[in-house]
């Protein structure tokens, strides 16, 4: 079926989705990272960006929150830019674990690879792959430059979050050294973990995440800067990873109900990609039991429901001004 959407329809759907999701409560801020436990639980923002750069924003869309696991997406893209999608498949894998994001059991079950760059194990492994090897500052620059290119503006490190995570990331330290045991850390293990922890501690806005999502939806062309950030062949690969594991052990339920591949983070962010059509991002701190924002999920799935969008629907969607 052909679906033709106007800017007005997209604006109105986002506005309604925001209003309805505002009334949904429940969930709790992540408590295992002290900084996140103290963020105002009432913050809520929803941003949509179209491939032509048109943006629709509702609520707290300029508030910088912890990007957390959404950072796994840009760094997976960077690893593919540097090593090709086939290289990432070989070094890390592309399988959903069906287990929590920080599962050690998942590594033991699949001792031949860390499963996917979008769980903690694979993301730490991806950080270890980033070039130039052995140079923490240069690797950090590559990671943040890539995010800046994808968003069209720079993220900012939240120092307090970085300190808070570094002081409490014992589980991730165990993951790193277990992966080292399986030869799946491709640089210094402590440096790789530190880069992962730092990238999770970047502050980002829902407006920036919507731009990143729109860049992926536009096969690597940033709608704000018009720059081709990555090879178009990477777009379906990263969207596949997002679809299969973006919501951890609830990824199937999520795609089934919302119809849109999306990645969540324990900072409360959700970033969704509708290939060729739009990018969407929502942010609200309280999380469900799997670590996914309750309100952000509601806003994004309500938006796709109102417009009848779904990546599996087989519709040809065009957006006119
Ligand atoms: N920094 C968090 C961790 O490694 C990210 C988890 C997430 O957002 O899912 O535990």
| 46-69: pLDDT as tens digits | 999 999 999 999 999 999 999 999
Atom of ligand 1 nearest to the CA of 291: 9
Calculate what percentage of the chain has a pLDDT beyond 70.
100
pLDDT at 249 over 80: yes
pLDDT at 82 over 90: yes
- CA–centroid distance, 312 to ligand 1, in Å, is 28
Residue range 180-198, pLDDT digits in tens: 999 999 999 999 999 999 9
Residue range 309-321, pLDDT digits in tens: 999 999 999 998 7
Q: Which of 39, 97, 100, 101 to mutate to test the pocket of ligand 1 (most atoms within 8 A of CB)?
A: 101
- CA–centroid distance, 320 to ligand 1, in Å, is 38
Atom of ligand 1 nearest to the CA of 68: 8
Atom of ligand 1 nearest to the CA of 120: 4
pLDDT at 2 over 80: yes
The 10 Å CB-count burial string (b at 16+, else e) for 258-276 is bbbbbbbbbbbbbbbbbbe
- CA–centroid distance, 200 to ligand 1, in Å, is 7
Residue nearest to atom 2 of ligand 1 (CA): 68
- Strand 45-49's sheet: what is its strand order? 55-59, 45-49, 278-283, 269-274, 262-264
Q: Which residues, listed in sequence order, are joined to residue 65 by a DSSP beta bridge?
A: 204
- pLDDT score for 119: 95
Residue range 188-229, pLDDT digits in tens: 999 999 999 999 999 999 999 999 999 999 999 999 999 999
Output the ligand 1 site: residues, CB below 6 A: 68-69, 101-102, 120, 165, 172, 200, 265-266, 291
Atom of ligand 1 nearest to the CA of 102: 10
Vertex 72 angle, CA 313 and 309, to 5°: 15
**In 29-158, where does DSSP find H-type helix?**
34-37, 72-91, 105-109, 120-129, 136-151
Atom of ligand 1 nearest to the CA of 165: 1
Residue range 8-36, pLDDT digits in tens: 999 999 999 999 999 999 999 999 899 99
- CA–centroid distance, 314 to ligand 1, in Å, is 33
pLDDT at 304 over 80: yes
pLDDT at 241 over 80: yes
- CA–centroid distance, 33 to ligand 1, in Å, is 9
Residue range 107-158, pLDDT digits in tens: 888 777 778 999 999 999 999 999 999 999 999 999 999 999 999 999 999 9
Q: Which of 69, 194, 251, 288 to mutate to test the pocket of ligand 1 (most atoms within 8 A of CB)?
A: 69
Q: Which of 39, 65, 165, 245 to mutate to test the pocket of ligand 1 (most atoms within 8 A of CB)?
A: 165
Q: Which residues, listed in sequence order, are joined to residue 46 by a DSSP beta bridge?
A: 58, 282
- pLDDT score for 205: 98
| Dist. CA 288–CA 178, nearest whole Å | 28
Mean pLDDT in residue range 246-258: 94
Atom of ligand 1 nearest to the CA of 267: 8
Confidence band of 97 (pLDDT split at 50, 70, 90): confident
Mean pLDDT score across all residues of the chain: 96
Atom of ligand 1 nearest to the CA of 201: 1
Q: Which of 77, 4, 24, 7 is nearest to 241 (CA)?
A: 77
- pLDDT score for 114: 78
């Amino acid at each position: 079926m052909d679906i033709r959407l106007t800017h007005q329809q997209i604006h109105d759907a986002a506005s309604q989705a925001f209003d309805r999701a505002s009334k949904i409560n429940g969930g709790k801020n992540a408590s295992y990272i002290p900084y996140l436990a103290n963020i105002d639980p009432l913050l809520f923002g929803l941003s949509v960006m179209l491939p032509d750069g048109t943006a629709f924003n509702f609520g707290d869309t300029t508030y910088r929150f912890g990007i957390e696991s959404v950072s796994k997406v840009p760094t997976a893209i960077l690893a593919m830019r540097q090593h090709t999608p086939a290289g990432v498949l070989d070094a890390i894998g592309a399988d959903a674990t069906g287990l929590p994001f920080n599962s050690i059991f998942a590594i033991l079950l699949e001792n031949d690879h860390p499963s996917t760059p979008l769980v903690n194990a694979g993301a730490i492994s991806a950080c270890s792959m980033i070039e130039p090897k052995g140079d923490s500052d240069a690797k950090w620059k590559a990671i943040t430059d890539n995010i800046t290119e994808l968003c069209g503006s720079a993220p900012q490190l939240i120092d307090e979050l970085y300190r808070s995570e570094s002081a409490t990331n014992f589980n991730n330290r165990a993951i790193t050294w277990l992966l080292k045991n399986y030869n799946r850390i491709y640089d210094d293990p402590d440096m790789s973990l530190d880069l992962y922890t730092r990238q999770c501690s970047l502050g980002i806005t829902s407006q920036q995440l919507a731009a990143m999502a729109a860049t992926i939806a536009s096969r690597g062309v940033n709608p704000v800067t018009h720059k081709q950030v990555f090879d178009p062949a990477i777009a379906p690969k990263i969207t596949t990873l997002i679809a299969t594991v973006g919501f951890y052990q609830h990824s199937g339920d999520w795609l089934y109900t919302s119809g849109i591949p999306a990645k969540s983070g324990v900072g409360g962010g959700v970033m969704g990609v509708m290939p060729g059509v739009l990018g969407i991002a929502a942010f609200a701190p309280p999380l469900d039991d799997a670590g996914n924002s309750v309100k952000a999920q509601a806003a994004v799935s309500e938006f796709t429901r109102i417009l009848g969008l779904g990546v599996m629907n087989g519709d040809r969607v065009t957006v006119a001004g």
